[in-house]
Structure 1
Amino acid sequence: MQMKPLGRIGISVSDMCLGTMTFGTQTSQAEAHRQMDMALDAGINFVDAAEMYPVNPVSKETVGLTEEILGNWNAANAARRGDYVLATKHSGEGFMHVRDGAPISDETIAEAVEGSLRRLKTDCIDLYQFHWPNRGSYMFRQNWGYDPSGGDRAAVIADMQACLEALQAQVDKGNIRAFGLSNESAWGTAQWLRLSEETGTPRVASIQNEYSLMCRLFDTDLAELCVYEDVGLLAFSPLAAGFLSGKYQGGAVPDGSRMSLVPGMGGRNSDRVLEAVAAYLDVANRHGLDPVHMALAWCRTRPFMGSVIFGATTEVQLAHILNGLDLELSQEVMDDIDAAHKAFPMPF
């Protein structure tokens, strides 16, 4: 397990992070608590949540349940709370199950932070992230028709500055330690960085965007910015929502899988995706590698990677992932992965 600095704030995190978005729907509280124990025992010191979790599906009735489950673990394991870095997120504009879809603002931040603290049963959130920007995002397959031209730059900048000042108030209270972004762009990240430097408010420590062998938008715009500015990527969906395990090949839909609950897989499901997955499965097979282990190990090689956020619905899945933590890919494997990427550059 490698440890990586989280931005420039003096916090180090394991380069693998336990994602919790299924805690409360697909994953029961008892199993979620066992997963926490397993992950920490394996040397993982980073856990990621969000106030809107769990998902698969998202519903008004379950919003906040993931944080509550983690909070119950914290309460039962008070001596271990200091053993890991806890991250969660403020829901963005348009999510009607929280604050009637209000945008992230200086008026919502205090309320959202306090709510997460109560549910998580902790005194401080180590990394507090904005789930998506108010102005919209090209993430979640919106890149195919994304148009940023309708925004008001002055209003966007003013909103960012007000949010940073509100975050500083939370830091001063001891409620949060660090600030991160999610589903952001290069321009947006650059503006947050510039404003924090000008005002002395919290500096962006990380950015949580989708990244995997199947989704590599980060390579083209954010990679250079994040390397030079010490903003680590927290990669979500590194297994491409489970596609890279191979379990959906040939039209298979295992019972209890994400596809059985969300058939469209967030816009990922198509014949061209299965062809791309087949290319990566072939690489793994030719080199005698488990495809899950290969996909995660590849993510960990990327120069801008802060931590790879993986999810496991079951303890069996988590144990399987943990068994591959020591895998290092040869140059031959890396070359074959590059060839597959060139053949299938944007399957989503």
Structure 2
Amino acid sequence: MIYKKLPHTDLEVSKICLGTMTWGRQNSEEEGHQQMDYAVDKGINFFDTAELYPIPAHPDRYADTEKIIGSWFKKTGSRDKIILGTKIAGKADFTKFIRSSGFRRESLIEAVEGSLERLQTDYIDLYQLHWPERSTNYFGKRGYKHDLTDHWQDNIHQVLETLSDLVSEGKIRHVGLSNETPWGTMRFLEESKVHSNLPRMITIQNPYNLLNRQFEVGLSEISIRENIGLLAYSPLGFGVLSGKYMGGMKPANARITLFPAYSRYISENANRATQEYYNLAQENNLSLTKMALAYVNSKPFVTSNIIGATSMKQLKENISSIEVDLSDELMKGIDTIHNNIPDPAP
């Protein structure tokens, strides 16, 4: 395994992070435990979760993923071996059953306390805002359109003040963003620069994969110059970049088969690009999965690559991508496809 420091900390995290959002829906508690056992055995020390998981979100399964991680901590006594990240859900129609008050002080405190209890831990290493409160482009929205009905008022200072209190209390150690834009990222960073008593956002968890390299436009420069590390999620584009949906296939129990709403990586251009990436991988004696993950692993702005799996076979292949080095020639081939079919998925 390769390790990299979380920016502005002494914490070293594995370049592969174990994603967990299927546990409690597509995966049982026992399967979640098996995945954690295997991941730790392979050198992974970084887990990512959220109060929203498993997805799709549903009141009957609210925060079940955190409970599964908590029961594993209790069973194994391995909390001190893991760097743990979780997130507070933002405002949305599909989160009204959780709360509708956004990132107000009482909401942040309630969310952190709930996560600590479910995770059976006294502290969270990295606490993240799952998506912005304001109306902006995230979750498959390609371009920003200003919403005149959005009455969000800039509360970033107040959010950071509350997070600062939670850090002082020892309940969280560090803070990060997720599904954030260049404007939002810089706004948070500038606030903590001007007010040195406020905590600094150290990571940003956004989608990044061969079908969606939009992070490279604006955010990658911010990531490098401001030292805010990308925690890349959906590195396989909901599994599309494993090749299992090619030719219109709908494998049983696969995410897009079960939940067709998660189809932003399925389109004519995305399918064409996936086929070309598949051909390139085959020409270089690689699986598409390993090539796609190794590409994300190779990027200098990526602190950790969040992989997810519903089977042990998938998990083993995903983790083994850390052993793959892509040649300069192969990287040129990837860029040729990208230039011909740029970012076919939002």
> Once the 2 structures are TM-superposed, how far is the Cα of residue 153 of structure 1 from its aligned partner?
10
**Deviation digits for residues 217-266 of structure 1, max 9, x if unmatched?**
10011010110111000000000111111100111000000111112424
- Asked whether the equivalents of residues 211 and 343 of structure 2 are also in contact (C-alpha less than 8 Å), the reply is yes
Q: CA, structure 1 residues 5+287, in 2 after alignment: closer, same or farther (shift >3 Å)? A: same
Alignment of 1:252-267 (within 5 A): 252-267=249-264
Match for residue 312 of structure 1? 309
Match for residue 166 of structure 1? 162
Match for residue 269 of structure 1? 266
Larger deviation, residues 259-268 vs 189-198: 259-268
Q: Give the % identical residues.
A: 41
- Asked whether the equivalents of residues 90 and 112 of structure 1 are also in contact (C-alpha less than 8 Å), the reply is yes
> Once the 2 structures are TM-superposed, how far is the Cα of residue 154 of structure 1 from its aligned partner?
9.3
In structure 2, distance between residues paired with 1:105 and 1:10: 30
Match for residue 227 of structure 2? 230
**Deviation digits for residues 251-298 of structure 1, max 9, x if unmatched?**
100000011111242433222211110010011011111111111110
In structure 1, distance between residues paired with 2:320 and 2:271: 26
In structure 2, distance between residues paired with 1:68 and 1:98: 18
**Deviation digits for residues 157-207 of structure 1, max 9, x if unmatched?**
xx1100101001111111000000000011111111111122221100100
- Opposite residue 229 of structure 1, the aligned amino acid is E
Q: Does 1:88 align with 2:112?
A: no
| Aligned residues: CA RMSD | 1.6
In structure 2, distance between residues paired with 1:286 and 1:333: 10
Larger deviation, residues 226-235 vs 5-14: 5-14
Query: Unpaired segments of 5 or more residues in structure 1?
Result: none
Any idea what SS the aligned residue of 1:241 has? coil
Any idea what SS the aligned residue of 1:179 has? strand
> Once the 2 structures are TM-superposed, how far is the Cα of residue 138 of structure 1 from its aligned partner?
1.2
Q: CA, structure 1 residues 97+29, in 2 after alignment: closer, same or farther (shift >3 Å)? A: farther
TM-score scaled by length of structure 2? 0.96
Query: Unpaired segments of 5 or more residues in structure 2?
Result: none
Q: Does 1:249 align with 2:257?
A: no
In structure 2, distance between residues paired with 1:164 and 1:279: 44
TM-score scaled by length of structure 1? 0.95
> Once the 2 structures are TM-superposed, how far is the Cα of residue 8 of structure 1 from its aligned partner?
0.5
In structure 2, distance between residues paired with 1:177 and 1:257: 35
Match for residue 133 of structure 1? 132
Match for residue 179 of structure 1? 175
- Asked whether the equivalents of residues 16 and 319 of structure 2 are also in contact (C-alpha less than 8 Å), the reply is no
Given candidates 313, 330, 333, the residue that maps to 1:336 is 333
- Asked whether the equivalents of residues 57 and 95 of structure 2 are also in contact (C-alpha less than 8 Å), the reply is no
> Once the 2 structures are TM-superposed, how far is the Cα of residue 59 of structure 1 from its aligned partner?
1.1
Equivalent residue pairs, number: 343
- Asked whether the equivalents of residues 7 and 204 of structure 1 are also in contact (C-alpha less than 8 Å), the reply is no
- Asked whether the equivalents of residues 135 and 147 of structure 2 are also in contact (C-alpha less than 8 Å), the reply is no
Q: Does 1:239 align with 2:236?
A: yes
> Once the 2 structures are TM-superposed, how far is the Cα of residue 87 of structure 1 from its aligned partner?
0.3
> Once the 2 structures are TM-superposed, how far is the Cα of residue 334 of structure 1 from its aligned partner?
0.4
Match for residue 54 of structure 1? 54
In structure 2, distance between residues paired with 1:284 and 1:267: 23
Match for residue 323 of structure 2? 326
Match for residue 201 of structure 2? 204
- Opposite residue 101 of structure 1, the aligned amino acid is S
Match for residue 68 of structure 1? 67
In structure 2, distance between residues paired with 1:149 and 1:222: 22
In structure 1, distance between residues paired with 2:21 and 2:114: 18
Q: CA, structure 1 residues 150+4, in 2 after alignment: closer, same or farther (shift >3 Å)? A: farther
